[in-house]
């Protein structure tokens, strides 16, 4: 979570001061800046924060020396993550061309900043990030690819020592580490169906043969997060229908308790306690149509509270439906559907279908004001949790990547057909929306099943998979081979990607109306690739019209580009509202809905 304003200030309250003291104006660092991570050094002599502009994914780390006369002492460019080991010793990872492969140590004990290389990743498939254990005794160097990971430990009390390797990278092993009382607590995908389990081992014997199981979720459960406290552990997990918390004392794991979270919750944002001694687990719950609400869970009292008091049922006449669609191979694909009013007379309602299905990431179901606006205006909102995403755990992702990517496409078709069978809308009133890698399934669906939808809205969509994954000069090509394959070196991968690639499979036919939002500074999906897609799409549509004597297509094809903005889109509120307004205007016009 971050805040983005044209002017953002750090404030310092000191004894005897009635007014806050301004420490830093972010506008002095970047013209339009957003704050990402803030860390105080252990003795609170320094403060460090990463600041990022809209037009680039590389951030700057601003370091302030605190005291009677606070001042910026150093600005380190191109920083992805950082952590303090002690006062005057900061570790950070550098980022260049979307890659983070190096760890550096930045020291200030000589009166000036001095930098030294600590770790260099040799495999371009891996991405390096730093995190600090809850007890502040170790900094973890986390080296992660799409299918493997490796963790090294930096001792915060002896930061000059060589980092200690926990477990060497092993095929298909992913793990994450925290520390308490000379023991490592490890989340690793070594459970049934290669799902996550919680294990522990002594710091002195960190390798996998010494890991001991202490917690395993049940079947069809995704382990979302773990929060470690001084005497307790809280596990955040989800099924396709709901989220829940499992809490247990670290001294008696068998004495656990389960807290079911409100059934309306579709997205959770955990606010990690930065100290092991914290006594509450803080998080926010929301849904696409329900604004975020703050919750607290006390592992000691085993009680769940909202910040307004005891949790209360959300009062709304919104219907939330959890249902399944049977895909082509028989797999049941979960969907979450929202609509207002009764279940009657929904056939003539407009429907907006959401899909993602990549990288093992859940479909974004956090609150969006425009989603609530559509719901209140009579729309049906459907979220299709297709294979390739992460809603049902790591196995769900594995079932929709590499040479199984078309499972997600089959799932999407099954979901839309099932919605119609349930009496929810009809093809002429149905629109599809996706962002980034979700554009692969959305674009492929337009090629294969254009008759099932009327309009499509895509944000920074990935559409030319075949060409991109054969170009090693692009920033993410090597890193993402474990998701899409290696068509440059593997002919079976090349043929398979060619069979579904949205750009490759454009052909003369009737297409739904398509609105693409592109960002000129996007380093992940270059603007030129979207121009090529749009031009090719217009050509095949024109060819179809000419052959079939249908002058003047009923399809509208628009590429809307924004200057000075990167892949994540605008953080400025006004620009974000304008973008959403253009999407809504397009949907209403193409579906023939009066406002």
Active site residues: 436, 522, 567
The whole-angstrom separation of Cα 533 and Cα 505 is 11
Q: How many CB atoms lie within 10 A of CB 336?
A: 22
CA 73 → CA 52, 112, 113, 542, 585, distances in Å? 18, 9, 9, 60, 48
Which tokens in the block code for residue 404? Answer: 């199984």
| Angle formed at CA 24 by CA 22 and CA 30, multiple of 5 degrees | 145
Q: How many CB atoms lie within 10 A of CB 543?
A: 13
Q: What is the DSSP string of 469-481?
A: HT-TTSTTTTTTH
Order of strands, sheet of 309-310, starting from the edge strand that comes earlier in the sequence: 267-271, 281-287, 290-298, 303-306, 309-310
Contacts of 381 (CB under 8 A, 6+ apart): 288, 289, 337, 338, 339, 351, 352, 354, 371, 374, 375
The whole-angstrom separation of Cα 293 and Cα 43 is 33
| Widest distance between CA atoms in the chain | 82
Query: Do residues 387 and 407 touch, judged by C-beta distance below 8 A?
Result: yes
Query: Do residues 180 and 167 touch, judged by C-beta distance below 8 A?
Result: no
Q: Which helix (H) or strand (E) holds 576?
A: helix 573-590
Residues forming beta bridges with residue 310, ordered by sequence position: 305
Q: Where are the alpha helices (DSSP H) in 368-490?
A: 369-376, 394-398, 406-421, 438-448, 465-469, 481-484
Residues forming beta bridges with residue 435, ordered by sequence position: 459
The whole-angstrom separation of Cα 451 and Cα 280 is 51
- In the chain, DSSP finds a helix count (H) and a strand count (E) of 9, 35
CA 243 → CA 47, 116, 221, 260, 366, distances in Å? 35, 44, 10, 7, 14
Q: What is the chain's length?
A: 595
The whole-angstrom separation of Cα 289 and Cα 383 is 12
């Amino acid at each position: 979570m971050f805040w983005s304003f044209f002017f953002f200030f750090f404030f310092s309250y000191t004894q005897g001061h009635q007014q806050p003291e301004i420490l830093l104006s972010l506008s002095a660092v970047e013209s339009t800046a957003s704050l990402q991570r803030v860390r105080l050094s252990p003795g609170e002599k320094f403060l460090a924060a990463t600041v990022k502009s809209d037009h680039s994914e590389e951030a700057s780390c601003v370091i302030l020396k605190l005291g009677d006369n606070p001042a910026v002492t150093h600005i380190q460019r191109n920083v992805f993550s950082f952590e303090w080991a002690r006062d005057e010793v900061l570790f950070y990872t550098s980022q260049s061309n979307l890659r983070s492969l190096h760890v550096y140590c930045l020291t200030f004990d000589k009166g000036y900043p001095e930098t030294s290389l600590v770790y260099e990743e040799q495999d371009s498939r891996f991405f390096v990030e730093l995190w600090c254990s809850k007890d502040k005794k170790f900094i973890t160097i986390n080296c992660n690819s799409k299918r493997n990971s490796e963790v090294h430990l930096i001792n915060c009390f002896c930061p000059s020592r060589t980092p200690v390797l926990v477990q060497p990278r092993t095929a298909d092993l992913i793990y994450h580490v925290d520390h308490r009382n000379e023991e490592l607590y490890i989340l690793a995908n070594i459970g049934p169906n290669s799902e996550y389990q919680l294990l522990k081992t002594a710091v002195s014997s960190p390798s996998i043969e010494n890991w001991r199981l202490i917690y395993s979720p049940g079947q069809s459960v995704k382990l979302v997060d773990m929060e470690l406290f001084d005497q307790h552990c809280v596990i955040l997990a989800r099924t396709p229908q709901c989220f829940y918390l499992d809490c247990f004392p670290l001294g008696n794991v068998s004495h656990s308790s389960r807290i079911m979270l409100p059934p309306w919750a579709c997205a959770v944002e955990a606010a990690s306690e930065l100290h092991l001694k914290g006594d509450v687990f803080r998080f926010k719950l929301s849904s696409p149509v329900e604004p975020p609400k703050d919750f607290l869970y006390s592992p000691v009292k085993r009680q769940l509270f909202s910040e307004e008091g005891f949790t209360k049922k959300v009062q709304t006449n919104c219907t939330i439906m959890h249902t399944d669609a049977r895909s082509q191979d028989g797999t049941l694909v979960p969907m979450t559907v929202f609509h207002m009013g009764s279940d009657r007379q929904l056939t003539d309602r407009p429907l907006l279908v959401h899909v993602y299905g990549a990288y093992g990431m859940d479909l974004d179901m956090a609150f969006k004001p425009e989603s609530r606006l559509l719901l209140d205006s009579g729309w049906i909102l459907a979220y299709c949790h297709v294979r390739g995403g992460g809603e049902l755990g790591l196995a769900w992702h594995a079932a929709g990547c590499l040479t199984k990517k078309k499972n997600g496409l089959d799932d999407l078709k099954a979901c839309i057909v099932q919605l119609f069978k349930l009496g929810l809308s009809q093809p002429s009133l149905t629109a599809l929306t996706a962002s980034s890698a979700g554009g692969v399934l959305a674009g492929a669906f337009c090629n294969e099943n254009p008759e099932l939808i009327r309009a499509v809205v895509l944000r920074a969509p990935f559409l030319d998979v075949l060409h991109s994954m054969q170009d090693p000069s692009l920033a993410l090509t090597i890193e993402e081979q474990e998701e899409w394959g290696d068509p440059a070196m593997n002919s079976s991968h090349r043929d398979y990607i060619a069979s579904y690639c949205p750009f490759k499979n454009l052909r003369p036919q009737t297409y739904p109306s398509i609105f693409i939002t592109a960002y000129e500074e996007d380093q992940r999906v270059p603007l030129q690739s979207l121009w090529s897609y749009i031009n090719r799409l217009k050509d095949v549509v024109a060819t179809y019209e000419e052959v079939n004597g249908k002058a003047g297509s009923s399809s509208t094809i628009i590429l809307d580009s924004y200057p000075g903005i990167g892949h994540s889109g605008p953080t400025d509120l006004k620009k974000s509202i304008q973008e959403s307004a253009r999407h809504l205007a397009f949907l209403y016009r193409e579906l023939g809905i009066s406002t």
